Amino acid sequence: MTTKTKAHGMDGLLVEADWPALTLDEVHLVLSNYASVYRPIEIVSVSPRPFSSASVVETHGGRVFIKRHHHMVRDVGGLLEEHRFIAHLRLHGAAVPRVIANSIGATAIASDQWTYEVHETPAGFDIYQDALSWTPFRSPAHAYSAGQTLAMLHQAAANFAEPARKPQPLVASFTIFASQAPHMALQRYIAARPALRQSTAIRCDSEAALELLAPFHAELLPLLPALPTLWTHNDLHASNLFWSDESDDARATAVIDFGLADRTNAVYDLAQAIERNVVGWLWLMNHPGSTEDVPVQFDHLYALLDGYESVRSLRAEEAAALAPMIALCHAEFALTEADYFLGVLKSEEKARIASDSYLLGHAKWFRSAGGARLLGALRTWAARRAQPQLTAALRRIP
């Protein structure tokens, strides 16, 4: 018998989950194709994340993490795209948990309408396990360590040569604003996703957002050639990290959840991390007329950037691209959420939240005084850090 549990809702509250929770009988069936050491004992915890069903399971060989997707969200081919990236990162020293293969070497298992994957549980503490996206770090030290961890991921990903992922729901791609002609790119994006193509409301929201975001695309456009493509995580929220302990000085020990990963670029991934952790979007969701009151954690912003650059220094063009990229980076994720809600859950109400409150609402905020303060701070930061580089370059000129 399947049961439903609570999951994170779109307004920050717990709601009834869209997907039934994993059951012990189901887990027995999945793990029967794995080595005998993985015979399950009990389900230890149930994830509150909304787009799939997942649990930590105690087995005779220790704890594993099992995740179940509807096949319309992730089929075997879609999961294998992520698993190859994870394997590459592990091979190059990144702290990511291993995807466990079954007795015939498969890491993605299809059964009826579901697709399953089984992961090692990472070392460390899951201290943000109940935290929603768009809620802040507990401390600047956590933000600094997250920045370091993201830079290490980018270094490990450098030689992963696979192309961008196939169109599918819940992937944070970067194609519309990577184009010289975003209106045409938007039409191609929508055309590849039948659920979006059939929604007049979402097409209208998308066009309105595109107009609002046009100045930021114009700012980014001359810098795009300096942003080489790279496979990236695209969702480095605090809850996708494990930590060395439960203190405010804890260090990140592992990165999880590569479901949104795709070929984008390092600045896009860094912008996503800032957007996820620094801006209090849930305030805007619940108070849509109070754009001036949306909280921005500037101390966490600078700590995250300092942590990143302690491992991988940004080139001047990358730093300059960060402000416009933060205004643009959420667009395709909002659209892919709308695609999921329409195409998989058949919920027009949730799809409009993604396209109106998320895509269009965030675009409006970046054109407001509150958004201008964040982007102005980043432009000032980029100009100041570029000055020593420029001075050093001038000194080298004969």
Whether the predicted pLDDT of 15 surpasses 70: yes
* pLDDT score at 11: 62
Q: Is residue 43 part of a domain?
A: yes
Which residue in 123, 117, 38, 56 sits closest to 84, CA to CA?
A: 117
What average pLDDT does range 241-252 have in this prediction?
Answer: 98
Greatest CA separation for the chain? 77
- Give me the chain's average pLDDT, please: 93
Q: Is residue 300 part of a domain?
A: yes
201 and 79 belong to one structural domain: no
Q: Is residue 7 part of a domain?
A: no
75 and 108 belong to one structural domain: yes
Whether the predicted pLDDT of 27 surpasses 60: yes
290 and 144 belong to one structural domain: yes
| pTM, 2 dp | 0.94
Q: Assess contact for 152 and 94: CB atoms under 8 A.
A: yes
pLDDT in tens, 136-191: 999 999 999 999 999 999 999 999 999 999 999 999 999 999 999 999 999 999 99
Q: Is residue 128 part of a domain?
A: no
95 and 154 belong to one structural domain: no
Domain total in the chain? 2
pLDDT in tens, 361-377: 999 999 999 999 999 99
198 and 261 belong to one structural domain: yes
* pLDDT score at 45: 94
Q: Is residue 10 part of a domain?
A: no
What average pLDDT does range 344-356 have in this prediction?
Answer: 96
Q: Which two tokens stand for residue 158?
A: 């450098």
Domain boundary among 87, 120, 153: 120
Query: How far apart are the C-alpha atoms of 86 and 113, rounded to whole Å?
Result: 24
**Residue 68 backbone dihedrals phi, psi, to 5 degrees:** -120, 130
Domain boundary among 86, 120, 154: 120
Query: How far apart are the C-alpha atoms of 276 and 362, rounded to whole Å?
Result: 12
* pLDDT score at 391: 44
* pLDDT score at 292: 83
112 and 246 belong to one structural domain: no
86 and 226 belong to one structural domain: no
Q: Is residue 127 part of a domain?
A: no
* pLDDT score at 387: 73
Give the structural domain span for 251.
140-396
Which residue is associated with the tokens 């549980």?
A: 121
* pLDDT score at 262: 98
116 and 234 belong to one structural domain: no
151 and 267 belong to one structural domain: yes
CATH classification of the domain holding 109: 3.30.200.20
Q: Is residue 132 part of a domain?
A: no
DSSP for residue 194: H
What average pLDDT does range 187-198 have in this prediction?
Answer: 96
Angle at Cα 166 formed by Cα 164 and Cα 170, nearest 5°? 95
pLDDT in tens, 224-245: 999 999 999 999 999 999 999 9
296 and 157 belong to one structural domain: yes
CATH classification of the domain holding 204: 3.90.1200.10
Which ranges in the chain belong to alpha helices (H)? 24-31, 76-91, 140-157, 182-191, 194-197, 200-220, 266-278, 281-286, 298-309, 316-328, 331-343, 348-352, 361-366, 369-396
* pLDDT score at 389: 55
Domain boundary among 120, 150, 178: 120
Q: Assess contact for 52 and 19: CB atoms under 8 A.
A: yes
250 and 344 belong to one structural domain: yes
What one-character-per-residue DSSP string does 325-381 give?
HHHHTTHHHHHHHHHHHHHTS--HHHHHIIIIIIIIHHHHHHTSHHHHHHHHHHHHH
Task: Show Cβ contacts of residue 204 under 8 Å, excluding neighbours closer than 6 positions.
Answer: none
Quickly state the pLDDT bin for 398 (edges 50, 70, 90).
very low
pLDDT in tens, 316-339: 999 999 999 999 999 999 999 999
82 and 164 belong to one structural domain: no
**Strand 6-8 vs strand 14-16: parallel, antiparallel, or unpaired?**
antiparallel
Q: Is residue 262 part of a domain?
A: yes
Whether the predicted pLDDT of 192 surpasses 90: yes
pLDDT in tens, 50-64: 899 999 999 999 999
Q: Assess contact for 307 and 236: CB atoms under 8 A.
A: no
Q: Which two tokens stand for residue 306?
A: 């300092």
